[in-house]
Amino acid sequence: MKTYRITDIIEDEFGCEGRPEGEEPMVTILLVDDTGKQRSIRMADKLAYEKKLDIGAEMELPEEEVMTLNGKEYKVKKLLGKGKGGYSYLVTDGEKEYVLKQIHHEPCSYYQFDNKLEAEKGIINGLWKLELPCQSCLISMKHRNAF
């Protein structure tokens, strides 16, 4: 286990439409360890409240974060960022590095998606056509839940 300090807690935003019926409120918790390595986890808002998690608090997590996509495990090296459609992570399978895009289902008040997966595929194909460095990109439609 490794100790992390909470640097931010981001609540899902659903704009005018509100949270879809039956969907549990979730938060994204941004963390940093004593070396400056960043990490993020998702958990139910209720659970974060029950655990009394707040900015500046410390929490213990397994040392390596692993994401599974299509039955294959990838070690998360770094959270690259969050965009309108999802989270981007730098991951490795032990041989190569990839960008793993995890699509979230949070509505964006200033942008409407017809199909987020197709939008992401189009962006990646556009980068390849422009011959910009986009070696490998993996896409996951799952929410990542912690605990």
pLDDT one-digit tens code per residue, 92-129: 888 888 888 777 655 556 556 566 667 667 766 666 66
Q: What pLDDT does 143 receive? A: 41
Q: Write the secondary structure of the chain as one string of H (helix), E (strand) and C (coil).
A: CEEEEEEEEEECCCHHHCCCCCCCCEEEEEEECCCCCEEEEEEEHHHHHHCCCCCCCEEEECCCCEEEECCEEEEEEEEEEECCCEEEEEEECCCCEEEEEEECCCCECCECCCCHHHHHHHHHHHHHHCCCCCCCEEEECCCCCCC
pTM of the model: 0.52
For the stretch 38-83, pLDDT in tens is 888 888 889 999 989 999 999 988 777 788 877 888 888 887 877 7
